[in-house]
């Protein structure tokens, strides 16, 4: 009955965190030029919104692709708990070497979520502010 | 190809309950959504139609026509209704966001006369939605 249709479930989460954009591969001056205000050594923060899209078969018994409680607890454990009210540079190991731009945050979140056992993670969309949005769907085509 | 999206809202109640499960399983699987008296949402529906604009009118399809289709097929059928009991297409299905989106797709797809239904996105809350589109079509 669903013949030829694809159904995805999208869920939004939030976390607030600080970061500083600074690359060890660039000089102090280059860092200031490239990252501008975001290079402030004390860091600054955002209210991030993370939108996670999952796909899979809709179970006829539950009407669900994945039980929301399972998805919520997985995202909470893998992303919200380790990121919320943290300094991304200091508190998240992945951002010691990688600059915590929203591009890299998007990829890191995708990497943390792609092992969700109950459904396929299609893509991750991160809003750094209401005006800046980044999306990552892995490298497979 | 141009994609045009029309939005509409409707409010409805529902509950999740599978008679094949025990009372305890229903509670465990569906949680609060299993309340036998039901509960409600303000749903937001986004319907995207893809097509080439007509060279004379500049339109993929007349928005007025799309609005009438949505009014007839969706608003009249679902707005201020108890989805489990009053929407025949959802009978014997759990009225999750996924299933409602699919029912909406199946209702609209044959009615779109110009262009082609590309995507149905149904928000149950601002933080939860289901997308429905053809396999192989561009995702969100």
Which CATH number belongs to the domain containing residue A35 in this structure? 3.30.479.10
Residues A38-52 have a mean pLDDT of 96
Give catalytic status of residue B41 as yes or no.
no
DSSP code at position A79: I
| Strand runs labelled E in B35-86 | 39-51, 81-82
Instruction: Return all residues near A13 (Cβ < 8 A) that are at least 6 apart.
Output: A49, A50, A51, A52, A75, A76, A79, A80, B127
- Asked if residue A141 is part of any domain, the answer here is no
Nearest CA in chain B to A122: B139
Q: ipTM higher than 0.90? A: no
Neighbours of A127 (CB within 10 A): 19
User: What percent of chain B clears pLDDT 70, i.e. is strictly above it?
Assistant: 98
Query: At residue B81, does pLDDT exceed 60?
Result: yes
Domain boundaries, chain B: 2-133
**Burial category of B27 from C-beta neighbours within 10 Å (exposed 0-12, middle 13-18, buried 19 and up):** middle
- Asked if residue A75 is part of any domain, the answer here is yes
Reported as a single tens digit per residue, the pLDDT across A74-126 is: 999 999 999 999 999 999 999 998 999 999 999 999 999 999 999 999 999 99
Number of structural domains (chain A) is: 1
CATH superfamily of B2-133: 6-pyruvoyl tetrahydropterin synthase/QueD (3.30.479.10)
Catalytic hit among A28, A30, A85, A90? A85
Give the pLDDT of residue B138: 64
Q: Are B73 and B111 in contact (CB under 8 A)?
A: yes
- Asked if residue A46 is part of any domain, the answer here is yes
- Asked if residue A3 is part of any domain, the answer here is no
Q: Which of residues 65-124 of A touch B (CB under 8 A)?
A: 65, 67-69, 122-123
Residue B10 parent element (H or E): strand B2-14
How far apart CA A121 and CA A55 sit, in angstroms, is 7
Reported as a single tens digit per residue, the pLDDT across B28-63 is: 999 999 999 999 999 999 999 999 999 999 999 999
Comparing CA positions, the residue from B114, B120, B117, B112 lying closest to residue B78 is B120
Which chain B residues are Cβ-neighbours of A62 within 8 angstroms? 16, 18, 29-30, 94, 96
Phi, psi at A75, each rounded to 5°: -65, -40
**Burial category of A25 from C-beta neighbours within 10 Å (exposed 0-12, middle 13-18, buried 19 and up):** exposed
Give catalytic status of residue B33 as yes or no.
yes
DSSP code at position B20: T
- Retrieve residue B14's tokens: 């529902």
Identify the domain containing residue A78 by its residue range. 8-136
Which of B96, B128, B134 best tests the A interface by mutation, with the highest count of A CBs <10 A?
Answer: B96
């Amino acid at each position: 009955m669903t013949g030829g249709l694809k159904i995805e479930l999208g869920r939004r989460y939030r976390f607030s965190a600080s970061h500083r954009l600074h690359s060890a591969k660039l000089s102090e001056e280059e860092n200031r030029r490239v990252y501008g205000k975001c290079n402030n050594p004390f860091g600054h923060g955002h209210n991030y919104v993370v939108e996670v899209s999952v796909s899979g078969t809709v179970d006829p018994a539950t009407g669900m692709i994945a039980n929301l409680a399972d998805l919520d607890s997985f995202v909470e454990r893998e992303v919200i708990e380790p990121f919320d009210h943290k300094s991304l540079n200091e508190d998240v190991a992945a951002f010691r070497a990688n600059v915590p731009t929203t591009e890299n945050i998007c990829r890191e979140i995708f990497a943390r979520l792609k092992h969700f056992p109950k459904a396929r993670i299609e893509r991750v969309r991160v809003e750094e502010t209401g005006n800046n949005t980044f999306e990552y769907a892995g490298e497979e085509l | 190809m141009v994609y045009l999206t029309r939005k509409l809202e409707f409010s409805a109640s529902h509950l999740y309950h599978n008679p094949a499960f025990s009372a305890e399983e229903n509670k465990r699987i569906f949680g609060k959504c299993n309340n036998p008296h039901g509960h409600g949402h303000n749903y937001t529906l986004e319907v995207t139609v893809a097509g080439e604009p007509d060279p004379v009118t500049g339109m993929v399809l007349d928005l007025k026509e799309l609005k009438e289709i949505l009014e007839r097929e969706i608003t009249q059928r679902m707005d201020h209704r108890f989805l489990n009991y009053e929407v025949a297409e959802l009978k014997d299905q759990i009225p999750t966001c996924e299933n409602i989106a699919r029912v909406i797709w199946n209702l609209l797809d044959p009615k779109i006369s110009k262009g082609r239904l590309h995507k149905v996105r149904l928000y149950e809350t601002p933080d939860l939605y289901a997308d429905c589109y053809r396999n192989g079509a561009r995702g969100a």
